[in-house]
């Protein structure tokens, strides 16, 4: 596959997730919840989790954001659901390396590799990481709103 057709494929994946986000909505009686805010644009997102014995049994999110932040939240929810808290932290670290340019392999990130292109655009890196920062805060049991700035 050429680089430009790969970029087109990645663009399609991002658009598809932003139009039909998986796990959008909230959880009744979540065990953990956190909000993310990107002050550069005012976009916001809330993560809801149901944890049981260190396992992320359910994850949902409500977002009012750009295509990249919503697609990242959607793909993140698919990768993280059913994983342990430790696995989620490891995925966050891998995803961070992917979008700052140190990693090119899939390494379990699945469709999240489609977001690798944001590494060229620092402001878009904040869009892609917004849901992950909120997830991290939720897993810590924190209640403050996390900001990308």
Q: Which stretch binds ligand FES (CB under 6 A): 13-21, 26-34, 64-72, 105-113?
A: 64-72
Residue 52's SS3 state is strand
Q: Which of 88, 118, 127, 135 binds ligand FES (CB under 6 A)?
A: 127
Between CA 50 and CA 26 the distance in angstroms is 11
Are 146 and 35 contacting, i.e. CB atoms less than 8 angstroms apart? yes
* DSSP element (H, E) containing 99: helix 85-100
In the complex with ligand FES, the residue whose CB is nearer, 50 or 119, is 119
In the complex with ligand FES, the residue whose CB is nearer, 130 or 135, is 130
For 22, phi and psi rounded to 5 degrees?
-80, 145
Least distance between ligand FES and beta carbon 130 (Å): 5
Between CA 48 and CA 59 the distance in angstroms is 6
Q: Which stretch binds ligand FES (CB under 6 A): 1-9, 35-43, 50-58, 138-146?
A: 35-43
In the complex with ligand FES, the residue whose CB is nearer, 56 or 125, is 125
């Amino acid at each position: 596959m050429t680089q430009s057709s790969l970029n087109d494929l990645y663009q399609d994946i991002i658009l598809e997730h932003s139009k039909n986000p998986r796990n959008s909505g909230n959880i009744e009686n979540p065990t953990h919840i956190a909000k993310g805010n990107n002050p550069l644009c005012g976009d916001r997102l809330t993560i809801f989790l149901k944890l049981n014995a260190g396992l992320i049994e359910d994850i949902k999110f409500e977002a009012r954001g750009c295509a990249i932040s919503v697609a990242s939240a959607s793909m993140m929810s698919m990768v993280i659901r059913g994983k342990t808290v430790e696995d989620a932290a490891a995925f966050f670290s891998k995803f961070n390396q992917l979008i700052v340019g140190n990693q090119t392999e899939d390494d379990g990130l699945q469709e999240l590799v489609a977001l690798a292109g944001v590494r060229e655009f620092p402001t878009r890196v904040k869009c892609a990481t917004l849901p992950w920062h909120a997830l991290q805060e939720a897993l810590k049991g924190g209640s403050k709103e996390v900001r990308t700035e």
